[in-house]
Structure 1
Amino acid sequence: MKTLVIAEKPSVAESLARVLQATQKSRHYYSGGDYIVTWSLGHLLTLKMPEDYKSEWQEWSLDTLPLLPDKMQIKPLPKTRAQLKAIGELAKRQDIGSAVIATDAGREGELVARWILDYLHFDKPVKRLWISSQTDKAVRDGFAHLRPSKDYDDLYAAAQARATADWLVGLNVTRALTVKYNDSLSAGRVQTPTLGLVAAQAEKISHFVPETYYTLSLQTKHGEAQLNGNPHLALAAAQQQRKQLQADSYQIMTVKEKSKHQKAPLPYDLTELQKDANQRYQFSAKKTLSLLQTLYERYKVVTYPRTDSKYLTSDLQATMTERLAAVSRYEPLAKPLAGKKAPVIQKQVFNDAKVTDHYGLIPTEQMPQPELFSNDEKKIYDMILGRFIGLFLPDYIETQFTYQLSGDFVLKQTQVIQAGFKLDLATTTVIPLKSGTQLKGNVALNKQLTQAPKPLSEANLLVQMEKKGLGTPATRAEIIEKLVNSGLMERVGTHLAVTPKGQQLLKLVNPRLTTPDLTAKWEQQLEQIAQGKLQKRDFIQQIRQATTDLVKEVKRSSADYKDFNLTMKVCPTCGAKLREKSTRNGVLLVCSNQNCDYYRRRDPKVTNHRCPQCHKKMVMLSGEKGDYFKCTHCNITEKVGDVKSKKRMNKGEERRLLQKVNQDDEPGESALAQALKAAMGKQD
């Protein structure tokens, strides 16, 4: 009998098939002696849309809200139905005796595979592959230690609860706001309090009033001494104290010597890597995760990306020398360490109690091929590698000398004893000063201004989201992107800002949904479900009640709303005003009537069709007789030929879909996003 292996993406399935010697490739799977390896394309199924439960729920109306299905149901996604059908046919084969879930080892990966198996009513034994790297060695070891799928039933329950909560809260509150204020206003369980964090910081800045203050310092040839406590003084008080403190010399009253040891930092978790990459290279959180996913899946040189731990399990100690040897040809600093088989000095990194589903980000035993890396991939790999090599290096050690001077001044000196993991620092020599030594100096009056809080950068926001319990390492990047793409938040230089539309949204929803407390509580409960400490039904009941309350408050609200994107142009279909909507393909004019699906481009679309006279690209316009090409240089026009619809994707379309799936940061589009897009009938 054969085993059916379900991977999450085609690229992962290809790697698994090679290791499992399933070398015969077909359109939807790989087959071999003992295994058939197939794949999903992210999510193949999603939660049903409102109209799938009741026909009257199709129309966007306050009267039907809240939408609370008795039982959440799933249905296939249209674009990937062919792959689901293929998996269904494989599952029914007589020579298939069992299945292995080989999707991403996390909450969402569990949902991808379980929904497939549940939808197909698969009743044969199922086991789980749980690995933290994609190297051949890790795959072989993982298949040698498969676990029963029931060991992950609680994780599946948590994933179902998360999807249900996002559907209930997000879809209901979004529909209520959209209908009441006649604009596309997207709210959600996690994204709205995340927006609230950015707005709260902006409010602190707007209320900030700068103040001038003065400090005193003593300038000596041994450095600058600060007045004890570094008090902030008014000008008159500072001038008076300066006169009192000015002297011909100052005596060292006491000397304190302190040795300071600093250990190398632990490996990155995903959030800290995204934060540092944003600060160092201005990478968005989504871009960092995408680069990391490529290093993990395609090149197999780093461990599982979506980790929330910085620690390593104790069993990894035996693999560290091999990992160091693998990177020694790439990183010169690793070569001498690998040559003498250096042990890990920072032993605190091995802590089983602080590792959850996955350990910290470290290199695999796979030798990197830097010539294949893009510049940005190399930057992320080097960051991970730097933390890894630091584990083999000694502590940074310095001696701090603190001198208490007459006049209540404090002078400090630092001597580097051992650079340790701070390889860019050199040791320094300081000749300590003795008690009773007289120092000459001049008391300086320093004028300073209090500084306003800085706007949140993406790095700062990630830190706040982690601190407040908003989202998970796997979802935070996507949450930020959704806020930007929905027009509620924007990137301004290196920081984030709430748009006028976003500011209004925060005033229209209940404050409980704009602050992190409620969402953090729900996220903690999801983790409790995953640990078997809370029942899914109890959590869902709580969410249903919260949804009902939130919708009622929107209905009762008398708040005003101004649509800043509404234009004076009129929809030719229903007569409503058109609204500007920014998309990846330019700005669209979309009908403001939620039950009308009319839209057009605001600006002419530049096509690849060339002018027959000047050979420059022509634009596409719409007229009474349909679409036509026009050259903006020669004013020549050409009618656009009728394009027959294609029931099946051609090879190019299929290749682009597979490429998109393999590069996706998330397993697939969320159920909420699918529901909103289909219900509103607006395509980007």
Structure 2
Amino acid sequence: MKQLILAEKPSVAKDLSKVLGAKEKHKSYYEGPNVIVTWALGHLLGLKMPEDLNNDWQSWKMETLPMIPKKIGIKPLPKTGHQLKAIKQLASRKDVSEFVIATDAGREGELVARWILEWIRFDKPVKRLWISSQTDKAIKTGFSQLKSAKEYDALYDSALARAKADWLVGLNVTRALTVKYEDNLSAGRVQTPTLALVRSREKQIERFVAQSYYQIELAVGQQKATLVQKNPYALTDKTQALAQIQTLSKENGQATSIKEKTKKEYAPLLYDLTELQQEANARYGFSAKKTLSIVQSLYEFHKIVSYPRTDSKYLTQDMKATMDERLQAVADFSAQAKSLAKTHANIQQMSVFNDAKVSDHHGLLPTEQRARYEKLSNDESKIYQMIVTRFIGLFLPPHVTRQQTITVHFGKAEFIFRQQEILESGFKESKHTEPLVEFVDKMSVKPDFSLKKGLTTPPKPLNEGTLLGQMEKFHLGTPATRAEIIEKLIKSELMERTTNALAVSKKGKQLLELVNPSLVTPDLTKKWEEQLEAIATKKYSLTQFMNEIEVETTQLVKEIKQSQATYQDFSLTQKKCPDCGSLLREKNTRDGKIYVCTGDSCSYRRRKDPKVSNHRCPQCHRKMEIIDGKNGAFFRCKFDGTTEKMLDKQAKKKKMTKHEERRLVKKYSQADEPEESPLAAALKAALNQE
């Protein structure tokens, strides 16, 4: 009898099959003596759409809202039905004795597998593989410790609750807004408050008015301290500031308090996904989606880092035994790593081991598999370097400093000096320390004052890194979904990427005015996320959660129906459709901006700007634009006006490439090729002699 093992992706199934000895490859699975390894393609099934459940819900009408079905049900997703059918056929084989869920070890991975099991009606034992890295060792260990799938029923309930809640709130609110304001307005329990965070920061910047201020500084040797005030920006009048300096300068001050302590600072903990995305954005400008894609490749393809979609920075106690093997695997990363590996160094940052702060997955760290650096792309190397550097820091001693806090009084005016001396650089590189001023208790201080002018600065707009931090703070989404939420907001034209920040579009600003106030604030979503986590830990009921969601959905739709707000479609242009005369709407697509007709039954669309091709102008050699003409598309150079006909596929095949041209030219223009044969030359010479 055999185990039927379901991986989430073909690449993971391939890795599992190698370890488990499934060498026989088929179109949709691998097979070995004891196992059959097949795969999903992410989600193969999804919740049914409104039009699948009720004929009245096929058209978008306000009177059919809210849509609250007794049972939603699932259906196969388009384009992946062949794989679902293959899994069902494998599951029905008589030699299959049990099913092993080997999808991603998390909420969504559980949902992927459970829906497949539900669809194929599998009625034999089901087990769960739960691993945090894709190395051969981790896979072997995981299969030796399989657990009953029933132990993860609560995790499935949490995933199902999330999916159904998003269906009810997202589809009902989106339909209500779209029908009422006659434009595609997308809203949801996570994406709307995320958008509101960006807009809130923009409003702070818009309201900001720069203000000049002055600070009084006291110098003692090379150290300086600023006059302590409740409001550091309160001193705005220069004359008043100078007068205050003159008053303070009438007598010497006195050091009234000297406090000294030795501070040990240990290396930072491991990365969780959110912090890694934040730092990669700050260092390299990587989007959250790009960082997730890179670290997923390091995990799945290269197998040199642990599971990336983690919300923890800690490790479990039982992982202490694996630390040296992981250290040996990164020994060639740097001279420092090599030295630590050679001496089998011990972890110095012991607080990293904390079972209570590890839920599904531990912090990001390298696996026991050595990296092949020549196979890593430049971007992969950057992310791997960040992860390994954090890991190595755990083995390094603390950064030790001697810190002094000195309070100096000039009458009631107070100045606080802070100075420190590095005693041990530890995990930090040695930094230059300013010479310490020797303060003595009750010592007299000369009045060496200066006036420093400053200008208040506005808060910085949110970029992807800082937005991720805000999303984490307010429990918006999970580490695995936050990048996707940001991308969805940009794709739906509610938010835009600027050079180094995120901005809410005109459409997004209006949406925040139109949508329900409870969806704008993160409070509701925070409550839902806490409830979903409680469901996963069997502390809250799935039925109770869904009952509350249905009540909230009804209220949200009611608020939209009763709203008196107005909407202006900024994407609507004054250009008219040549086919039906309706106005054209401007839309953003992957290929650039396009115009689409607003007529209900008209499908007219065209590019706003010509598409730039890779075809080069024969005159200036710059890329040419593709122009849609009356007689078909053609190339045009916008720099010198040169035009060229676009060849169809057959013509392209007939057209000689530059490589073929060079080969033929070389063949027929050999410099040392004789112009006539030796026999012809001899006959010619004989005739000349006669």
* 1:233 alignment partner, one of 227, 235, 244: 235
Alpha carbons of 1:60 and 1:612: their partners in 2 closer, same or farther (altered >3 Å)? Answer: farther
Look up the match of 1:143.
Answer: 143
2:248–2:447 contact (8 Å) kept in structure 1: no
Using the alignment, how far apart are the partners of 2:579 and 2:161 within structure 1?
Answer: 41
Partner secondary structure for residue 333 of structure 1: helix
Tell me, which stretches of 5 or more residues in structure 1 are unaligned? 643-684
Using the alignment, how far apart are the partners of 2:522 and 2:369 within structure 1?
Answer: 41
* 1:524 alignment partner, one of 530, 552, 571: 530
Displacement of 1:221 in angstroms is 2.3
Look up the match of 1:2.
Answer: 2
- 1:437-486 CA distance string (max 9 Å, x none): 55556211122222222211211111111111111111111101111111
* 1:301 alignment partner, one of 295, 299, 304: 304
2:191 corresponds to 1:191: yes
2:613 corresponds to 1:621: no
Alpha carbons of 1:594 and 1:194: their partners in 2 closer, same or farther (altered >3 Å)? Answer: farther
Displacement of 1:400 in angstroms is 1.3
Moved more, 31-40 or 630-639: 630-639
Partner secondary structure for residue 440 of structure 2: coil
1:568–1:578 contact (8 Å) kept in structure 2: yes
Partner secondary structure for residue 75 of structure 1: strand
2:222–2:437 contact (8 Å) kept in structure 1: no
1:396–1:421 contact (8 Å) kept in structure 2: yes
Aligned amino acid, residue 470 of structure 1: L
Partner secondary structure for residue 4 of structure 1: strand
- Percent identity over the alignment is 56
Alpha carbons of 1:594 and 1:394: their partners in 2 closer, same or farther (altered >3 Å)? Answer: farther
Using the alignment, how far apart are the partners of 1:150 and 1:241 within structure 2?
Answer: 74
How many pairs are equivalent? 640
- 1:369-411 CA distance string (max 9 Å, x none): 1111111111111111121111111111111122333524333
Look up the match of 1:395.
Answer: 398
Alpha carbons of 1:403 and 1:634: their partners in 2 closer, same or farther (altered >3 Å)? Answer: closer
Displacement of 1:596 in angstroms is 5.7
Look up the match of 2:539.
Answer: 533
Look up the match of 1:350.
Answer: 353
- 1:13-34 CA distance string (max 9 Å, x none): 1111111111111221111111
Partner secondary structure for residue 112 of structure 2: helix
Displacement of 1:179 in angstroms is 1.6
- 1:44-99 CA distance string (max 9 Å, x none): 11111221112332212212222222211111111111111111111111111111
Aligned-pair RMSD on alpha carbons?
A: 2.5
Within a 5 Å distance, the mapping from 1:592-611 to structure 2 comes to 592-593=598-599, 598-605=604-611
Partner secondary structure for residue 384 of structure 2: helix
Using the alignment, how far apart are the partners of 2:498 and 2:569 within structure 1?
Answer: 21
Alpha carbons of 1:614 and 1:272: their partners in 2 closer, same or farther (altered >3 Å)? Answer: closer
* 2:556 alignment partner, one of 550, 553, 565: 550
Using the alignment, how far apart are the partners of 1:359 and 1:191 within structure 2?
Answer: 27
2:586 corresponds to 1:559: no
Partner secondary structure for residue 80 of structure 2: helix
Partner secondary structure for residue 179 of structure 1: helix
Look up the match of 1:93.
Answer: 93
1:417–1:427 contact (8 Å) kept in structure 2: no
Displacement of 1:575 in angstroms is 4.8
Alpha carbons of 1:574 and 1:36: their partners in 2 closer, same or farther (altered >3 Å)? Answer: farther
Aligned amino acid, residue 233 of structure 1: L
Within a 5 Å distance, the mapping from 1:297-376 to structure 2 comes to 297-376=300-379
Displacement of 1:210 in angstroms is 2.7
Alpha carbons of 1:571 and 1:262: their partners in 2 closer, same or farther (altered >3 Å)? Answer: same
1:217–1:225 contact (8 Å) kept in structure 2: yes
Displacement of 1:209 in angstroms is 2.6
Using the alignment, how far apart are the partners of 1:275 and 1:610 within structure 2?
Answer: 40
Within a 5 Å distance, the mapping from 1:283-682 to structure 2 comes to 283-407=286-410, 408-425=414-431, 430=436, 432-435=438-441, 437-438=443-444, 440=446, 442-571=448-577, 575-593=581-599, 598-605=604-611, 619=626, 621=628, 623=630, 628-629=633-634, 631=636, 633=641, 635=643
Look up the match of 2:670.
Answer: none
Displacement of 1:292 in angstroms is 0.7
Look up the match of 1:114.
Answer: 114
Partner secondary structure for residue 116 of structure 1: helix
Using the alignment, how far apart are the partners of 1:290 and 1:327 within structure 2?
Answer: 22
Displacement of 1:7 in angstroms is 0.6
* 1:264 alignment partner, one of 263, 267, 270: 267
Using the alignment, how far apart are the partners of 2:525 and 2:64 within structure 1?
Answer: 25
Aligned amino acid, residue 544 of structure 2: D
Aligned amino acid, residue 566 of structure 1: L
Look up the match of 2:685.
Answer: none
2:190 corresponds to 1:206: no
Displacement of 1:522 in angstroms is 0.9
Using the alignment, how far apart are the partners of 2:617 and 2:394 within structure 1?
Answer: 62
Aligned amino acid, residue 69 of structure 2: P
- 1:392-432 CA distance string (max 9 Å, x none): 11111111122333524333321011111113436787463
Partner secondary structure for residue 5 of structure 2: strand
Aligned amino acid, residue 318 of structure 1: A
Using the alignment, how far apart are the partners of 1:610 and 1:406 within structure 2?
Answer: 74
2:221–2:437 contact (8 Å) kept in structure 1: no
Alpha carbons of 1:447 and 1:136: their partners in 2 closer, same or farther (altered >3 Å)? Answer: same
2:595–2:606 contact (8 Å) kept in structure 1: yes
Aligned amino acid, residue 5 of structure 1: I
- 1:266-325 CA distance string (max 9 Å, x none): 111111111111112121111111111011111111111111111100000000011011
Using the alignment, how far apart are the partners of 2:580 and 2:44 within structure 1?
Answer: 36
1:270–1:305 contact (8 Å) kept in structure 2: yes
Partner secondary structure for residue 124 of structure 1: coil
Using the alignment, how far apart are the partners of 2:301 and 2:634 within structure 1?
Answer: 42
Displacement of 1:343 in angstroms is 0.8
- 1:504-538 CA distance string (max 9 Å, x none): 00011110000000111111111111111222122
Tell me, which stretches of 5 or more residues in structure 2 are unaligned? 651-690
Displacement of 1:605 in angstroms is 4.2
Displacement of 1:631 in angstroms is 5.0
Look up the match of 2:163.
Answer: 163
Displacement of 1:100 in angstroms is 0.7
1:127–1:149 contact (8 Å) kept in structure 2: yes
Partner secondary structure for residue 104 of structure 1: coil
Using the alignment, how far apart are the partners of 2:619 and 2:338 within structure 1?
Answer: 63
Alpha carbons of 1:461 and 1:636: their partners in 2 closer, same or farther (altered >3 Å)? Answer: closer
- 1:601-631 CA distance string (max 9 Å, x none): 33344567899999986736275x8x54465
1:154–1:531 contact (8 Å) kept in structure 2: yes
Aligned amino acid, residue 29 of structure 1: Y
